Amino acid sequence: MSVTIVGTVAWSDEFVVIDCARPLREVLKDLDGCVLPWLVVSRARHQYLYALHPDEFRRYLPARPTQAQLAAATERVLQLHETQVSTPANDRTAPPPINRAWRPQAEAPSIERYVALDTRGEADETAAVDGNLVRVGDEAAERGGQAAAHRAGERGEHQGAAADHEPGRDLLALDDIAPLQRLVEAFLGWVLCAI
């Protein structure tokens, strides 16, 4: 697994690009046995890119696709919307901030992630936001059956960083904490506006 920390973003080159113009049957066949931790889902000829884990991708599909859905283009079956895209980044050293202003109600793990683009505008590397997400490597290793060895190696690498650790940053890295954070922010905004 290749994970590079640049600033507060953990970049990974362990991904496969899913072209949503292909039939769903072909895409699912390609995903069977996929051990890579990331997918970059591409819609509308790379206009919309979503960084997702394979299990997250499957959540956007019907539980039991019909024969017609399996034969259809994946884009027609997926329940992904333009407001759920990952933020494109042309510069990994200084990615732009994630803009939620135009999609305040949208919720998806892909929103909190970047997709690095190469010079042709195609997915180069994918990332999850936050430098503390080196745990992305843990998840990939567990899927590949190498969890114990991987975690043992990481424990030794990261013990020196424990003194610099900021506890709140781990909470913001969790997918299920982000909606709670938005709820608290909205509530505080409402209360402070009333004052």
Domain ranges of the chain: 3-166
Residue 30: φ, ψ to 5°: -65, -35
C-alpha to C-alpha distance for 125 and 108, rounded to whole angstroms: 19
Rounded (5°) CA angle 148-152-154:
120
Q: How many CB atoms within 10 Å of residue 183? A: 10
> What top-level class would CATH report for the domain 3-166?
alpha beta
pLDDT band at 41 (very low <50, low <70, confident <90, very high): very high
* Residue 57: strand, helix, or coil: helix
C-alpha to C-alpha distance for 56 and 39, rounded to whole angstroms: 9
Q: Are strands 123-129 and 9-12 parallel, antiparallel or unpaired?
A: antiparallel
Write the pLDDT tens digit of every residue in 50-71: 999 999 999 999 999 999 999 9
Residue 24 pLDDT > 90: yes
